[in-house]
Structure 1
């Protein structure tokens, strides 16, 4: 059953590492037994090698999950998803308990920094209401993040420079950037909202290309003809953008087009793009910042955690006793928005194909910056 939700856990893990959003791993705070808190006498819902998870602890996990990633709220009514969550909680409890003291110190420090950034990105009154809705405190969120980051930091200690270089070679697109102008002719007519035949869209795109080949100013043509309202007013320009953030066809064109050459129409799922690459900065390991190398290290740590989840976790879980709701799974595990879907694995694409994850080796934005899907149709 855990394999069914493998993408969910893996993507959430990477999101936590990169601080891309409020979408974090489901491994809620547990066992920071402050003396002021009453003893937890609730039923044990999971037993594992070295510990247990109680009903109250699992309830806390679900509330934190709903706070950090509300898109999962509906899935939490499903029995098999609940089992996945409680087993994932077991994993992080087990791994954090085995972490070194240094990893615990560094994990707490990193979690606090990330928490502060996350909180600062939300209006104070909105933050308060979000906490109130799930009956949570700041400390609940901090404890949750600390546990996850402790495991991440512990796994990072085993990552070598050679492994980081190999990871870089596999993910060069994360670090290659390009400045691209484009004109999008959408497969949906923006005026009528009716589907446009591909041949009609291609004809319009070829007319745009002919004007540009004839010497027309690209910025002016984009302002007049582009149906990507996210870039049209900027002359169709997306500047110094990681090529990994674009849908495949647009990305490949951005990587391979000769500089300042007007492309033939490039088809994506959103329409036809007439493109011009004005600048491209190729990835070079020697030029990576320390921060970018840290992100690669974190990706490798997340991969090791994922391996533990799929290969080792069931060996340490002795029993799971969750109350059954008898609710059937609605849809598929790939059907949620964002993280946990195939789109979530690659980053959710906007109408233009923009991958909303910031995956260029930086720590990302404090919240996942979701490009307005109704306006950004850049292919980005």
Structure 2
């Protein structure tokens, strides 16, 4: 349960920091049968916005109207969310997200707000550009979603305030300590390489079904190696032999990729092989690779410190959600998720909020 929720919350940060990256949205895998929601107690009334769904410390509240708007914005950017809108587990997660952003945005100092305002403007410019190029434009799409531009602007601004509020608490020493720790654990963690490779696979990447034995794959890989050592063209041979769908049509080349993204054996070879030399077959879980490392370098501390800062801020956000937020909620009138009853009649653990699929792998990543 906690693992699933934590994965889903990664979508919060993705949405807050890169609203337009719709393709990388985290969704939920719906349960086969959703348990019937517990009837909600009669909610309090608010002078504006309808029923009060949630109250929290320091006089905070969330009305039905503002929560509906928040759900509509999420569904606008992530259409797949619509199928879960009536799921009590999903509603609770969305409410946690909304209250989190409300609380953290209210804690942002003026410096954080000024930086966040610049980022929010950039986001809105991207949103206008992206949807403006589509049929009907942004205005029509917002109208169809029961939203206004002001709704989206406020959502983006609150999201940015929340992220920058957490980042402002990360110290330079914490960033440096985290950097040193990662380098100590893996000296190549920030290495970048440009690599060409030809994969002779042992299984179908789509089905996982075995396509050839390891012995046959190794024999074929050595044949490719011999062709290259005898003057064969790498690009042409990659297109003919390689079974990596991510690079086959580009001559097997991945350019300026962080090697930590790759399968461990492939990453190790990319970090250690001599430059500009055809390798012997390199075995990974997917078969044998003939590799050619064109270039290799490492990112400096200055190159990665902003990314580390964002990671540490994200961790603080998770800590807030898991440790502080529950104690702040005073009333919650949303339907409560019900435990599923197994066939034997014994009570089951609460049904998970849904497993979020992994974001699409970067384009410049060999088969993993």
Match of 2:166 in 1: 155
| Residue in 2 that maps onto 1:206 | 222
CA distance in 2, matches of 1:175, 1:15: 25
| Residue 171 of structure 1: how far off its partner (Å) | 5.3
**What is aligned with 2:77?**
68
2:197 — aligned with what?
182
Cα distance change on mapping 1:255 and 1:131 into 2, 3 Å: farther
Cα distance in 1 between the residues matched to 2:253 and 2:75: 37
**Aligned residues of 1:268 and 1:379 also touching (Cα < 8 A):** no
Q: How does 1:345-356 map to 2 (within 5 A)?
A: 348-349=360-361, 356=362
For 2:76, what is the secondary structure of its paired residue?
helix
Contact 1:2/1:84 (CA < 8 Å) preserved in 2? Answer: no
For residue 214 of structure 1, report the CA deviation from its aligned partner.
4.2
Of stretches 242-251 and 84-93 in structure 1, the one that deviates more from structure 2 is 242-251
Task: Name the CA shift for 1:132/1:197 in 2 (closer, same or farther; >3 Å).
Answer: farther
CA change 1:334–1:85 in 2 (3 A) is closer
Contact 1:17–1:299 (Cα < 8 Å) also in 2 = no
Q: 1:82 to 1:265 in 2, by over 3 A?
A: farther
* Secondary structure of 1:125's aligned partner: coil
Matched, 1:257 2:267: no
Q: Which residue number in structure 1 is paired with residue 306 of structure 2?
A: 294
Q: Which has the larger radius of gyration?
A: 2
What's 1:83 paired with? Answer: 92
Contact 2:276 2:292 in 1 (8 A): yes
Corresponding position: 1:218 with 2:234: yes
Aligned counterparts of 1:163 and 1:41: Cα–Cα separation in 2: 42
Query: Which deviates the most, 246-255 or 165-174?
Result: 165-174
Cα distance in 1 between the residues matched to 2:145 and 2:236: 50
Structure 2: stretches of 5+ with no match in the other structure: 28-45, 341-348
Aligned pairs for 1:130-149 (under 5 A) are 130-149=141-160
Q: Contact conserved, 1:16 with 1:25, CA < 8 A, in 2?
A: no
Does the 8 Å CA contact 1:183/1:275 hold for their aligned counterparts? yes
Q: TM-score, normalised by structure 1?
A: 0.74
Question: Contact (CA 8 Å) 2:49, 2:66: kept in 1 or not?
Answer: no
Describe the superposition over 1:267-314 as per-residue Cα deviations: whole angstroms up to 9, x where unpaired.
5555443212111112322xx34xx53333222222211111111111
Q: Say whether the 8 Å CA contact 1:5–1:333 is kept in structure 2.
A: yes
Q: CA deviation at 1:49?
A: 0.7
SS at match of 1:73: helix
Q: Report the 3-state secondary structure (helix = DSSP H, G, I; strand = E; otherwise coil) of the residue aligned with 2:135.
A: helix
- The answer to whether residue 125 in structure 2 is matched with residue 102 in structure 1 is no
Partner of 2:38: none
Counterpart for residue 120 of structure 1: 129
Deviation at 1:196, TM superposition (A): 1.1
Q: Deviations over 1:235-260 (max 9, x none)?
A: 22112122233333332322232323
Q: 1: CA distance between counterparts of 2:110 and 2:307? A: 22
Structure 1 residue runs without a partner (length 5+): 27-37, 338-342, 350-355, 357-370
Kindly indicate whether the alpha-carbon contact (under 8 Å) linking 1:180 and 1:277 is maintained by their aligned counterparts in 2.
Answer: yes
Q: Provide the C-alpha distance between the structure 2 equivalents of 1:239 and 1:10, rounded to a whole number of angstroms.
A: 27
Residue equivalent to 2:346: none
Query: Which residue does the alignment assign to 1:234?
Result: 250
Q: 1:180 to 1:186 in 2, by over 3 A?
A: same
> What secondary structure sits across from 1:228 in the alignment?
coil
Distance 1:271 1:66 in 2: 41
